[in-house]
A = this chain, B = another copy of it.
Amino acid sequence: MFKLPPELQSELALVEKYLLEFINFGKEDKTLGEIVKCVIENSGKMIRPSLLLLSGRFGPGYPECRERLCKLGALLEMVHIASLVHDDIIDDSPLRRGKPTIQSRFGKDMAVFTGDFVLSRVLYHLMNEGLLDSGIIIGETISAMCRGEIEQFNSHFDPDATIEGYLSIIRNKTASVFIASCSMGARESGCDGNFSKGLTDLGNHIGHIFQIRDDLLDFQSSEQKEGKPVHVDFRGGIFTLPVLYALQHPEHGKKMRELIIDCEKRPVTDIDIAAMEKIAKQSGGIDFAKEQIVKHTDAAYSILKSLPDNEGLRVITAILKWISSS
């Protein structure tokens, strides 16, 4: 990965400090303490808080707004953590990033309430810090994430699933959080309308790249490499770009459709997976997904060109380079 500038490192350390302080569960709750520790260990590279902090470099209110940005970064990461805990229930995932999920270690019941607990702490601290404007964005973001998950659930094993439907799902469930990161950074630092719009659009493109790339990894990686099983999506009836592109293909669409209709009726086998991979590849579905990443990357670079050169710009450019090429 790229090297973070020292200042961002110290801000991310502050984000982590607030994260621990905000999730604080009280010493009496031993189980909750153990779960929350495990949740935080499982959490990721803090890419969402980083984008928030970096977007906050573009307004005249920086660096005065730094402390507020770090608190919001912690709260946004908590929203992300809560969503991971609840997602794992749905996916029935045994592992996340090579480590056991909350639901596999503590049971689905605990996962439901741990996620709710973390969300309740987000609500409490937004109120307690009086972060109304950003709180409204966070509220809308969580709603969008739920909408996206519900849309996704509704399209399980749907042979009529479309690329448009998929784009709505990933806009809601993934891009919304990246959009929130960038737009909160812009807003809290007092960016003008143009910069604000540019940063919000940038969040949207980065979010799309992030999800399409993640979906492609489900096609390409081995269990060892990514720390999670492969083709979980297709096995669970979730169809991503390579499959959806193949479905609408004049030549290969029929085969993919028949496979999906078969797979809905019985457990998906490795033979089904091999067949699906073959059709997706032959139809050009995997290339199509890669092209979408290029399209969003180009659009993101073009926005970056319109922004003033500062540390925020340089590090976001590095993040973009890393996300779009890895």
Among B25, B89, B122, the residue within 8 A (CB) of A112 is B89
Chain A interface residue bracket vs B: 35 or more
Q: Is there an interface contact between B31 and A154, defined as CB atoms closer than 8 Å?
A: yes
Minimum CB–CB distance from A298 to chain B (whole Å) comes to: 30
Q: Is there an interface contact between A139 and B120, defined as CB atoms closer than 8 Å?
A: yes
Q: Binary interface profile of A, 75-99, with partner B (CB < 8 Å = 1, else 0)?
A: 0000000100010011000000000
Among B110, B126, B136, B145, the residue within 8 A (CB) of A153 is B110
Q: Binary interface profile of A, 123-142, with partner B (CB < 8 Å = 1, else 0)?
A: 11111101010011011101
Does A149 belong to the interface (CB within 8 Å)?
yes
A25–B121 Cα distance when bound, in Å, is: 24
Q: Is there an interface contact between A123 and B110, defined as CB atoms closer than 8 Å?
A: no
* Interface-centre pick from A112, A117, A153 (highest chain B CB count, 10 A): A112
Instruction: Point out the residues of chain B lying under 8 angstroms from A130, CB to CB.
Output: 132
Does A109 belong to the interface (CB within 8 Å)?
yes
Name the CB-closest residue of B to A111. Answer: B112
Instruction: Point out the residues of chain B lying under 8 angstroms from A128, CB to CB.
Output: 136, 139
Instruction: Point out the residues of chain B lying under 8 angstroms from A150, CB to CB.
Output: 29, 31-32, 110, 113-114, 117
Q: Is there an interface contact between A143 and B126, defined as CB atoms closer than 8 Å?
A: no
Does A202 belong to the interface (CB within 8 Å)?
no
Minimum CB–CB distance from A159 to chain B (whole Å) comes to: 18
Q: Is there an interface contact between A143 and B115, defined as CB atoms closer than 8 Å?
A: no
Q: Binary interface profile of A, 25-37, with partner B (CB < 8 Å = 1, else 0)?
A: 1100101100000
Does A281 belong to the interface (CB within 8 Å)?
no
Minimum CB–CB distance from A222 to chain B (whole Å) comes to: 27
* Interface-centre pick from A107, A117, A143, A147 (highest chain B CB count, 10 A): A143
Instruction: Point out the residues of chain B lying under 8 angstroms from A116, CB to CB.
Output: 82, 86, 115-116, 119, 142, 145-146
A124–B145 Cα distance when bound, in Å, is: 14
Query: Known pairs A117-B150, A128-B139. 15 more at Cβ < 8 A?
Result: A29-B150, A82-B116, A86-B112, A90-B113, A107-B153, A109-B149, A112-B115, A115-B116, A116-B145, A120-B142, A120-B143, A126-B127, A127-B136, A127-B139, A128-B136
